[in-house]
Chains A and B, each alone.
Chain A
């Protein structure tokens, strides 16, 4: 059974940092592109970052570029998102989603990040 389980969310003050993790199981993690997608309260989905299966290609949305860093460890079947210089507007549920041949199929259940003083 394919599973993606996010963790690491929580309450952080503006300017702070958090590291999100996404643990993958039930499929060959190293074969898949992975993405981070977020959803602010009551708002739509926003793609924020992409990493190729081997990690050689990485992309970010303008809204997080220079502050967030995506990475993966294929040996540990894990995806990460290091989030620095957090802003109130980064408050959202963060999802990891797998991607193969332009099909984004499985999503995790999400982890809530709240940025507030």
Chain B
């Protein structure tokens, strides 16, 4: 079964830029994994940010962007704000009998 790995934690300064990554145990992440990214704040349901690698939902702030980087899916936050402090999860479509697999999440601290 595929294991999806994210950085456990990252710290960024307000106004800075940070990139979170999402790797698959089966090899390089490609567009065929349709990477999705979610933000979750304490006590709240996850909120979708990015789908199919780089597509933003209508509510996704412009400072969030998705890409493929070095065989991984990546979420970049530019001009980070205090309100971006949260847990971020990637989700990969792995097909087969267990189609979706979440990464373990990245706790982003804005400090």
Which positions in A face B, CB cutoff 8 Å?
Answer: 35, 37, 44-47, 50, 59-62, 95, 97, 101-110
Contact = CB atoms under 8 A, between A and B. Distances in A.
A45 B93 contact: no
A47 B91 contact: yes
Contacts of A108: 45
Nearest to B1: A62
B45 A109 contact: yes
Interface residues of B, number: 26
B27 interface: no
B91 A44 contact: no
Chain A binding surface SS class: strand
Contacts of B93: 102
Nearest to A4: B45
A108 B48 CA distance: 12
Interface string B33-59: 010101010000111100110010100
A110 B102 contact: no
B34 A107 contact: no
Given A50-B99, A102-B51, A105-B51, A45 B89 contact: yes
A35 B100 contact: yes
Nearest to A95: B45
A62 B36 CA distance: 22
